[in-house]
Amino acid sequence: MNGRAFTLLVWLMLLTVLPCGRIDAQPQDRLRSTLDLLKRKLETHLTYSLSEGQGPEAGTARFEAVSFESCRIAWTSSLEVGQHPDIPPPLRNTRMVNHMTVDLSSIDPDKTRIYTIKEMVKRNVPRALMLELKIRLGSRGFRQQLETTAGGRVTRSALEVKSYAFAFDTNDLSIAQEVLKAFTDAINVCRSRHKP
């Protein structure tokens, strides 16, 4: 019997022997697949060039999902701005790196919202579409470590914030809604694990 036939036979035996309602891995698999979707969508739609229309690039924004394997997720977002003439001189050649962590069970899905920045919409600028996540009352917030490099000087700060907003590279509402639904699903799975 070759390896594929043996694997198929083992799979079939497991399916007939184990009652489907009692497989404990299902919530973990659901969380994992939801977090994988979030990771893909966020890395795709939160990494982009900063420019207006066909104008020259002013900088870059990048999102990296550092840890999306459990209810405690972590990511790094960075923003680099060059010598673009429309950027005020004190902000040129600036790099900001933001390291964030949050326990998904702390986020309040009822207060999470999608909105647009009207001034950017008027100017037909992408990245006007925002997704804001808010923390439940009495829960730990988003833990943030921010490092800014400007003019050769590096400043670091650490704080806890009660909300966090993502700016998408597109104004396609369906993408933000898909990400919001995935966050809500992951939050609900994590909340069910923390119930007494």
The tens digit of pLDDT for each residue in 63-102 reads 999 999 999 999 999 988 887 777 777 777 888 999 999 9
Check if the beta carbon of residue 108 is closer than 8 Å to that of residue 135.
yes
* 83 inside domain: yes
35 vs 23, residue with greater confidence:
35
Structure tokens at 108: 């309040």
**Cα distance between residue 51 and residue 139, in whole Å:** 37
Task: Report the percent of the chain where pLDDT is more than 90.
Answer: 51
- pLDDT at residue 6 is higher than 60: no
* 2 inside domain: no
* 65 inside domain: yes
Residue type, 99: H
* 3 inside domain: no
Report how many domains make up the chain.
1
* 164 inside domain: yes
User: Residue 166: how many CA atoms within 13 Å on its side-chain side?
Assistant: 32
pLDDT of residue 87: 74
**Cα distance between residue 130 and residue 26, in whole Å:** 31
Q: The tokens 């840890």 sit on which residue?
A: 67
* 128 inside domain: yes
User: Residue 86: how many CA atoms within 13 Å on its side-chain side?
Assistant: 8
Instruction: State the residue range of the domain holding 96.
Output: 25-193
3-state secondary structure the chain: CCHHHHHHHHHHHHHHHCCHHHCCHHHHHHHHHHHHHHHHHHHHHCCEEECCCCCCCCEEEEEEEEECCCCEEEEEEEEEECCCCCCCHHHCCEEEEEEEEEEHHHECCCCCEEEECHHHHHCCCCCCEEEEEEECCCCCCEEEEEEEEECCEEEEEEEEECEEEEECCCCCHHHHHHHHHHHHHHHHHHHHHCCC
- pLDDT at residue 48 is higher than 90: no
* 71 inside domain: yes
> Which of 123-127, 145-149, 188-192 is predicted least confidently?
123-127
* 156 inside domain: yes
